[in-house]
């Protein structure tokens, strides 16, 4: 079978072996995704994955490495999510300290079940506002950030108090 990359060492690992039914290496991103999906459905890939799991995930070093990788992925995702909302990790930490670690709506501390969320104005370029607990952040989103809807909800609750 052909090689999936230009390896100097011809005694390549199993994951470098490209089954003939997969085809040649892709040129653009779309072809690359298609190639990866096709390759990952092959028997050779599944054998490689099972050998990898036996070798690395079973060992203490492999378990530690997997745990570290998960932590790195989680941190990258957090940074990416904050960036989309107009925040950075630094501004998030500063704002959390300035709020005293409390949700400004409920005046309660954050917990694992009710973590801090970066609130932002929903505009073309998002503007950071504050840090709310996940419950209050979802509530504001449910009311489409409309003060009119929030006032109507308050009237409704007071009517049935």
- Cα–Cα distance, 52 to 58 (Å, whole number): 9
- CA distances from residue 59 to 53, 63, 75 in whole angstroms, order as listed: 9, 6, 25
C-beta of residue 100 within 8 angstroms of C-beta of residue 131: no
**In this predicted model, what pLDDT tens digit does every residue of 65-118 receive, in sequence order?**
888 999 999 999 999 999 999 999 999 999 999 999 999 999 999 999 999 999
Q: What is the mean pLDDT of residues 25-40?
A: 78
pLDDT tens readout for residues 116-150? 999 998 888 889 999 999 999 999 999 998 999 99
Q: Where are the beta strands (DSSP E) in 41-140?
A: 116-121, 127-133
Q: What is the pLDDT at residue 120?
A: 92
The model's confidence at residue 16, banded by pLDDT at 50, 70 and 90, is low
Distance CA 119, CA 128 (A): 6
């Amino acid at each position: 079978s052909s090689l999936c990359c230009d390896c100097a060492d011809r005694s390549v690992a199993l994951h470098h072996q490209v089954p003939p039914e997969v085809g040649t290496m892709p040129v653009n991103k779309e072809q690359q995704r298609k190639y990866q999906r096709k390759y990952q459905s092959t028997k050779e890939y599944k054998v490689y994955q099972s050998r990898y799991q036996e070798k690395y995930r079973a060992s203490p070093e492999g378990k530690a490495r997997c745990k570290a990788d998960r932590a790195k992925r989680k941190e990258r995702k957090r940074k990416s999510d904050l960036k989309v909302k107009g925040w950075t990790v630094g501004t998030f930490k500063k704002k959390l300290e300035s709020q005293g670690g409390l949700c400004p709506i409920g005046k309660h501390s954050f917990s694992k079940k009710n973590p801090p969320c970066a609130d932002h104005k929903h505009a073309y370029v998002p503007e950071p506002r504050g840090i709310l607990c996940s419950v209050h952040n979802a509530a504001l989103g449910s009311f489409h950030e409309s003060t009119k809807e929030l006032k109507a909800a308050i009237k409704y609750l007071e009517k049935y108090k």
